[in-house]
Chains A and B, each alone.
Chain A
Amino acid sequence: MKFSHIFYGTLNREKRAFSRLILDTAYSFFLPPFSFQIRVGGLYLLYCLYQCQTASPPEQIRLALKDWLDLSKFEKDAVDAQHLDAVYILRQLMFQKAFNFTAMPTVLVYKKKRKVEKSAPCEEFMERATRPQELINIELLEELSNIHELYGNLKSSVSLTSEQADPSFNLVRKDLIPQLRSTVMDFYKWQQRKDGTDEDEDSDEGTSSKQECSKRAELIASIKSKAFGEAAEAPKSRRHRQVEVNQTNYEAGPSHSSGYSRRNKPSLKTRTNENLYISGDLWKEVTTATHISRLTTLDFVRKEKPKEYKKFKW
């Protein structure tokens, strides 16, 4: 693995500029919302890039004040999990004074670009919120449905009229359990949709997604196997939820502003060149710069052919 090769080939001032760019890019991987594993990877990346850079004196890693809390939390997590290598590397960077303690992560010059080209962060790296699924898990739902049944039985046994349920019976939402379940399912589906369609792709960092897949499967399986008394209402509520489902899918997900490219107005020079036609020598004279020095030279010296510079295209 030829890690330090990325720095080779830069000359003089490019070294510093490139180091700055690559360190700033790598820094973003060290911060949330990426998962812990990715952040450790980001830390390693920063460490290695800092050591291998060719700029001298070395370009520092910019640490912003607002990220300090994240850094200390990360360190604490690493210590708790006994990831000694991560802690060692972090402490080494501090020891070598690799950090610049700054106000903002990058140098800001009030650049307002029309088209913001930001590469979308790799969804697999993100730490996804799993709280809803963790909270409303199968056991909880089972418990809830049991209690709900018991409550219903209790109420009906207490009321004198056995046929029609007492209006006071309707204090509790009848379809609480299915609604809870479907809400969590909706959230999970939305998350999945947001992350992309490749759920089959197995990534090493996707262990959490595997867990969720199994959770989801269990959820579906267990609840389908249970027949609820509220099944008759399910279609209605389901229909109602159907509409909601569609709505939430459009609203809950972040609106990806497809960067609409505003057509740039052509410059005055291009417009002039396109609209104005002057022929031959006059045109050449008009477009070339005036040589004031010719006013004071003794003899009229024919000017040499202008040098042509090939413009470099990436």
Chain B
Amino acid sequence: MAASKPSTSTDPNTNIPDYEYTDVNSNIFHIGSFREEWLNRLKPSNYSYEQEHEDTFDANFAQEMGIGADTMADLKSVCSLDSLRCHPVDQPPDTDFVPPDPTLRTLIQRKKKQDHRASLKICKNRHDLYADELERLTVGRKPEEEADMVPEGEVVLTINVYYPATFEKFTYVRPHVTLLMTGSHSLAELRDAICCVSDLQVCGEFSNTPDMAPDFISKDHYKSAFFYFEGVFYNDMRYPECQDISITTIEWAKTRNFPAYSQAKMEDTRFVDLKLKVGFPYLYCHQGDCEHLVIITDIRLTHENDCLDKKLYPLLTHKHRVTTQKCAVCHVYIGRWFTTDDQFAPSDPCLFCDKCFRMLHYDAEGNKLGEFLAYPYVDRGAFN
């Protein structure tokens, strides 16, 4: 692609993203071209993973600026980090505590919060623990094989997938998962990485045949899904059972005063081919009516501190965990069965874990005892 420098004349370069609404979202741009623009402006050493030598840097700088060794040494000492140090070399301070008698407003407030926290007897936040665990697994990971390394100059997207619209809490506010993907991944790979509990739902009453329930998972039955980005519906057509579920919306839009929408295949589209806006909400729809909001929050070039193992992508960087509902009997295991009209249950409806359910409702041979209706239940926190 020819390098197109941003012109100050009338024709703005559309590949350079800018705010459509400040601090809300950007305007539309093509990801592959955006990447090209950056690579045209940078030197390979800027985005490579290797670190240059300090001496080489000094020599190059001195040569370019035409300054002597003495000036260079002066410059280095003036700009060195020693002048920032505010404690003697052999007494490193404890950075976990606010220094005494702070005058900076940030520090005063932080001290207040620390003192308050010390007065409470709350042990460590479990969400932090999970997040730390996730980070430990992924940050700065280098692959064992050279071929698995994410190439330099590759573009990385941060995608927030939100809870489905039917989830009454946190709709559109708190992302369910945050995934990192590279530009060369396809949309189908993103689809596979999104775990939604509605995929595991089983429809139907199974009190007579409790063992057959896992065979009827919705994920296997209703395989169609689509993404909607900027007027294009990307359908999943990998399996013969997949149908084009976006056609209904497209036909409906044609009858109204909408701009024409087009279609494409999810598995054939890579992220670098897409044109989209950063920070703008888009749609992922599966199971016919389970709709998730999808927002691309960040697009950037890879950096040496990122996880560089291609096999780990799509990379999960944040996962929100919901409290699960436990069995009414043991309060230990997550509820898997949901019964109504049950003569054995203390309430209608009632939740049971698998073990308690079978112990209560079936005898040792597996015969059904009594009258009840049982439905397999998938808790919202099933993916915790």
Residues of B within 8 A of A312 (CB): 113, 116
For chain A, residues 37 to 78, give those with C-beta under 8 angstroms from any C-beta of chain B. 48, 51-52, 54, 57-58, 60, 62, 64-66, 68-69
User: Does A258 interact with chain B (Cβ within 8 Å)?
Assistant: no
Closest CB-CB distance, A235 to chain B, in whole Å? 44
Contact B303 A60 (CB under 8 A): yes
B99 touches A2 (CB 8 A): yes
Contact with B along A94-105 (1 / 0, CB 8 A): 110101111110
Per-residue interface assignment for chain A, residues 1 to 20, with 1 indicating a CB less than 8 Å from any chain B CB and 0 otherwise: 11111111111110000000
A107 at the interface (CB under 8 A from B): yes
Q: Given the interface contacts A69-B6, A104-B298, A309-B120, does A8 sit within 8 Å of B97 by beta carbon?
A: yes
Chain B 75-90, CB-CB to A under 8 Å as 1, else 0, gives 1101101001110000
Per-residue CB contact flags for chain B residues 333-348 toward chain A (1 = under 8 Å, else 0) read 0000000000000110
Contact between chains at A5 and B301 (CB < 8 Å): no
Which residues of B from 164 to 186 have beta carbons under 8 Å from A? none
- CB pair A103 B6 closer than 8 Å: no
Cα-based distance from A3 to B107 in the complex (angstroms):
12
Structural contact, B139 and A102, CB atoms closer than 8 A: no
Contact B300 A100 (CB under 8 A): yes
Q: How far is the CA of A1 from the CA of B103 in the complex (A)?
A: 12
Task: Give chain A's interface residue range (CB within 8 Å of chain B).
Answer: 35 or more
From B330, which residue of chain A is reached at the shortest CB distance? Answer: A296
B104 close to A (CB within 8 Å): yes
CB <8 Å contact, B57 and A11: no
Assuming A100-B300, A110-B281, A296-B346, is B110 touching A9 (CB within 8 A)? yes
A:74-130 near B, CB below 8 Å: 79, 84-85, 87-89, 91-92, 94-95, 97, 99-104, 106-112
CB distance A107 to B158 under 8 Å?
A: yes
Instruction: Determine whether the beta carbon of B16 is less than 8 Å from that of A292.
Output: no
B63 at the interface (CB under 8 A from A): no
Answer whether A108 and B328 are a contact pair too, CB < 8 Å, given A9-B96, A85-B78, A85-B79. no
List, in ascending order, chain A residues with CB within 8 A of B329's CB: 296
B32 within 8 Å of A by Cβ?
Answer: no
Complex CA distance for A92 and B79, rounded to whole angstroms: 10
B295 touches A110 (CB 8 A): yes
- Looking at A92, A104, A296, A314, the one whose CB has the most chain B CB atoms below 10 A away is A104
| Cβ-defined contact, B328 with A292, below 8 A | yes
B86 touches A3 (CB 8 A): yes
- Min CB distance, A120 to chain B, in Å? 15
User: Hey, which chain B residues are within 8 Å of A110, CB to CB?
Assistant: 24-25, 279-281, 295
B86 x A2 contact (CB < 8 A):
yes
CA distance A107 to B279 in the complex (A): 8
Q: Does A164 sit within 8 A of B, measured CB to CB? A: no
Instruction: Decide if B128 touches A13 in the complex (CB within 8 Å).
Output: yes
**Nearest 3 Cβ contacts at the A-B interface:** A108-B279, A9-B98, A102-B300
Measured CB to CB, the residues of B under 8 A from A are 6, 16-19, 23-26, 29, 34, 37-38, 41-42, 46-47, 51-52, 57, 61, 65, 67, 71, 75-76, 78-79, 81, 84-86, 93, 95-99, 102, 104, 106-107, 109-114, 116, 119-120, 128, 131-132, 139-140, 158, 160, 278-281, 295, 297-301, 303-305, 328-329, 331, 346-347
Residues in chain A within 8 A of chain B (CB atoms):
1-13, 48, 51-52, 54, 57-58, 60, 62, 64-66, 68-69, 79, 84-85, 87-89, 91-92, 94-95, 97, 99-104, 106-112, 292-293, 295-296, 309-310, 312, 314
Residue pairs across A and B with Cβ atoms less than 8 A apart, 6 shown, are A6-B104, A7-B95, A8-B97, A9-B96, A101-B300, A108-B297
